[in-house]
Chain A
């Protein structure tokens, strides 16, 4: 029943499509790497027929399903929420599921490669463990010393909630951290994503461990590694003002409190 309902509009669209929407052929050049046979990554071309409504992720699906099943990439929700498919598209970090092909220069080939600075595992998949290790290190969870009133929640004013609203949007896709020139050469650097998630709790009025996190980030490999290149802010698919958040953490460390 539910399938029938879901299929009906899709079919209606498909029958309209040939007259309404014109397809076109676009070339994707993908940086391939198979650890079992390759010693180094190499580029491979694919011609794909796509519609203006298609995203880079749809093109990757068409390649994987119809042309070369060995193409490896991560994706989960495909709607810009899970943060699985961050990759470097035409030299910039983006989510494949949030990048419409028609918004890129379709006259030229589209270059797709894995994000930079994390160990390459296969094709577009990298080992995210160093990234998540940094994330865990900043203690990204509520630590409150007080107990809330019996059967009630901790009260927070609108202004207090707004203070860290921007950094609650993070989906941990690693687009920011892997766009950072400092992180490329110094894998020990916490990276923008970890600092963003620390910011989210440092400036939360309900949290009591701000000082601990500020101490963690007041490290040689902490916020002071940031060289304000703004690559992270430009790369963030959620529009988080990442460099601004890092600057606020720097200021809090210098003040000595959040």
Chain B
């Protein structure tokens, strides 16, 4: 009981900074992995629902997918690809930590490789995607 009490009452004073554990790359990669994982789960929920509409009729499916064609969903798609790309790359890093005998030793450098590859992928994807999203939005 005192554990929970102490935890929930943290950061009640004006100095919450000291109570956040300052982990390094490993901890933040885990936090990001969790956040992106939950976000992808909620996307999949919506994605399954909109795919089910295809069973009703192709026209109904087109109508549902048509509503996604706006800039807000376009930005959401960018975030989705960003989340999936990170989750996938960091997933490979976690597999290597678990199954490669030197994985734990090189986990920190592997995290930065994940970040670099992720940035490169996003640089290739985001500008083209966003140009499409905003040019189509104005054209239609």
Contacts and interface: CB of A to CB of B under 8 A. Distances in A.
* A and B part of one assembly: yes
Interface of A: 29, 31, 33, 40-43, 88, 90-92, 111, 113, 116-121, 127, 179, 181, 184, 187, 227-231, 233-234, 241, 243-244, 247, 250
Contacts of B20: 91
A118 B6 CA distance: 9
A229 B18 CA distance: 20
Contact of A116 (B5, B21, B103, B105): B21
A233 B24 CA distance: 10
B3 interface: yes
Contacts, number: 98
Interface stretch (B9-17, B73-81, B128-136): B9-17
Given A120-B6, A228-B30, A179 B98 contact: no
Nearest to B105: A244
A39 to B, nearest CB: 8
Determine the main DSSP class of A at the interface with B.
mixed
List 8 A-B pairs, minimum CB-CB distance, nearest first.
A230-B26, A111-B18, A91-B22, A119-B2, A244-B104, A40-B9, A229-B30, A120-B6
B12, B13, B104 interface centre (most CB from chain A within 10 Å): B104
A92 B27 contact: no
B15 A29 contact: yes
Contacts of B103: 247
B98 A42 contact: no
Given A244-B104, A250-B98, A113 B9 contact: no
Nearest to B2: A119
A120 B2 contact: yes
B23 A228 contact: no
A228 B19 contact: no
B30 A41 contact: no
Contacts of A184: 7
B104 A118 contact: no
Contacts of B21: 88, 91-92, 116, 179, 181, 231
Contact of A42 (B5, B13, B27, B108): B13
B34 to A, nearest CB: 9
Given A40-B9, A181-B30, A247-B104, A111 B15 contact: yes
21 contacts: A29-B15, A40-B9, A40-B12, A41-B6, A41-B10, A42-B12, A42-B13, A91-B18, A120-B2, A127-B2, A179-B21, A181-B23, A184-B7, A228-B97, A229-B27, A230-B23, A230-B26, A230-B108, A231-B27, A243-B104, A247-B103
Given A184-B7, A244-B104, A43 B26 contact: no
Contacts of A228: 26, 30, 94, 97-98, 104, 107
A187 B18 contact: no
Nearest to A110: B18
Contacts of A92: 21-22
Contacts of A90: 18, 22
A114 to B, nearest CB: 8
A187 B6 CA distance: 14
A194 B37 CA distance: 29
Nearest to A112: B18
Nearest to B26: A230
